[in-house]
Structure 1
Amino acid sequence: MTTGFPEAAPWGEQRASHADRETVVRRLQQAAVEGRIDFHELDERLERALDAKTHGELAVLTADLQGAGRGGAAGSVRELVEDRPLVLKGGLHGVVRKGPWTVPSRVTAHGGLGGVVLDLTRAECPSRAVDLEIHGQMAGVTVVIPDDWAAETSGIEPGLGGVTDRTTPDHAPDAPLLRVTGTGGMAGVVVRHPKGRERRRLERESKALTSR
């Protein structure tokens, strides 16, 4: 049956966004730092990345760099260019993001009138660092990170609500770094590790998964 609408183009022929190009640029720069490509080749690939029109044109620039910038972990080129920023808006009723999910390298949270809770304790983080831009606004933002993660909160303006960082300096050497910027707004921002009840819930969930 013909609908009259054009079929979606294959993934490689779909148009790339500015965010797609920026993500590939970061991967290429990291590959040069790791010695995977020399700086002459870096300049050449960066120019091609900035001029790329489609996902396919970006993909060929990192096809030989699997794992670059991710601590050696394998990752597909498609995952690379689909690392899109996440925007959370508390609005009137609030937003809670928790459970198993994949954290992109850039997240923005607007507290609004309902607030935002960003729980990363069961999240998968392919990147070495996550840039979190927070606007606490009227209801604030609470961020919960695993015990072995590190947090850097010096880049956020406290606003009227202030910034409360209850994380510890102890973290795993290869653990992700959460870089927080923005402003606390009226209600402020809290960045912390799990509390006792949350920690017990995580332990129960972990045991349930291992017993399957």
Structure 2
Amino acid sequence: MTGEPSHPVHSGEWRVSHTEREAVVERLSKAAADGRLDLAELDGRLERALTARTYADLAPLTADLPPDVPSAPRKPLVLQGGLGGVTRAGHWQVPAKVVASGGMGGVKLDFTQAGCDLPEVELEVHGQAGGVTVIVPDGWAVETVEVNPGLGGLKDKVTSPRLPGAPLIRMSGTGGAGGVVIRHPNSWERRKLKREQSR
């Protein structure tokens, strides 16, 4: 007798390591961030991943997820005020970087109803002659230390404290002649938003 098992151990019965459990946890977390899993599914699968003993325990947790390939970076959103001005408002998806150049007509950038799944957003502003106005919801934070006020100045009117999980907008650039204003929605904009939400 050799002391070896009478039948070979199937690979699914092999024991998993801490590193392999952590790799599955990371993949599940990314899938939830991409919207492939809801929070309840994520919690259940994470618990099973952290207590998995064999490959057979881990395999079903990611079987319905696509291969983990790097996602292509989203292109920056570039807004040019030109002669007539431009506004980005309503429902839109915020990319990792936005460039707003006021031109002659100015740029109005309204994040109030925008979708943002990023912890931080890079916003490059160039007030030029028309200026740039940035509107953020209550709870969002804005960092303006990298903005040169220029002739038009920089007016940061954001007063509400940053809420947990809310995005941080890191601004850079210059106010130019038209200046840069960062503020919350005014009373008229808030009333308009309430009317739209009540429909």
Do both share a fold (TM > 0.5)?
Answer: yes
1:114 aligns with one of 82, 92, 105: 105
Q: Which amino acid aligns with 1:74?
A: D
2:189 aligned with 1:198: yes
SS in 1 for 2:194: helix
Compute the TM-score of the two structures, normalised by the length of structure 2: 0.67
C-alpha change, 1:66 and 1:186, in structure 2 (3 Å) is farther
Unaligned runs of 5+ in 1: 1-35, 38-63
2:93 aligned with 1:102: yes
Partner of 1:73: 33
SS in 2 for 1:142: strand
Q: Distance in 2 between matches of 1:191 and 1:138?
A: 17
Q: Which amino acid aligns with 2:169?
A: L
Q: Distance in 2 between matches of 1:201 and 1:84?
A: 31
Q: Distance in 1 between matches of 2:131 and 2:117?
A: 27
1:136 aligns with one of 115, 127, 137: 127
Q: Distance in 2 between matches of 1:75 and 1:67?
A: 10
Compute the TM-score of the two structures, normalised by the length of structure 1: 0.63
Q: Distance in 2 between matches of 1:78 and 1:87?
A: 27
Contact kept, 8 Å, 1:66 with 1:75, in 2: the verdict is no
C-alpha change, 1:91 and 1:195, in structure 2 (3 Å) is same
Partner of 1:86: 77
Q: Which amino acid aligns with 1:171?
A: R
Contact kept, 8 Å, 2:82 with 2:106, in 1: the verdict is yes
Q: CA deviation at 1:109?
A: 0.5
2:156 aligns with one of 154, 165, 183: 165
Percent identity over paired residues: 50
C-alpha change, 1:73 and 1:194, in structure 2 (3 Å) is same
Q: CA deviation at 1:183?
A: 0.2
Contact kept, 8 Å, 2:89 with 2:113, in 1: the verdict is yes
C-alpha change, 1:114 and 1:79, in structure 2 (3 Å) is farther
SS in 2 for 1:81: coil
